[in-house]
Amino acid sequence: MLKFTDQYDMVLPALESKVEEFHYFGYDTFTPEDLWQYCLKKKWRKKDIGDMRLYEMVGGIMEMTASDFVAYHQIEGLKGDNWFSDSKNFDLEELLRPSAKK
């Protein structure tokens, strides 16, 4: 069974190619590490990557779209927010406060 770093190193050229493609379309903040984490956490979450063949991993990387990647990160960002934390209570109160009639 391959280690994480071995698998990452094996597919790194495909990850870098996909990052270059995304940069060409204006998505400049994506990194190979970001795409790798997306694959592990979303695309292959139900698979044992130790059992995956190299062509399956590269195929999965190459079929990835920027919109899939962006949507995943938006959802993950919303999951991480605590809407009722002290810092957001003021914003929430302002949002829910009835406006004064003129």
pTM above 0.85, yes or no: no
- Structure confidence by residue, pLDDT tens digits, 42-96: 999 999 888 899 999 999 999 999 999 999 888 887 876 665 666 556 665 666 6
- Structure confidence by residue, pLDDT tens digits, 7-25: 999 999 999 999 999 999 9
Which residue type, as a one-letter code, is found at position 90? Answer: F
* Integer angstrom CA distances of residue 84 from 48, 81, 88, 97: 37, 9, 6, 16
pLDDT interval class at 36 (50, 70, 90): very high
Q: Is 46 helix (H, G, I), strand (E, B) or coil?
A: coil
Sequence-distant (6+) residues with CB within 8 A of 11 are 36, 54, 57, 58, 61
Rounded to 5°, angle at Cα 80 from 75 and 82: 120
CA 69 to CA 18: how far, in whole Å?
A: 11
In DSSP notation, 7-39 reads HHHHHHHHHHHHHHHHHHTT-TT--HHHHHHHI
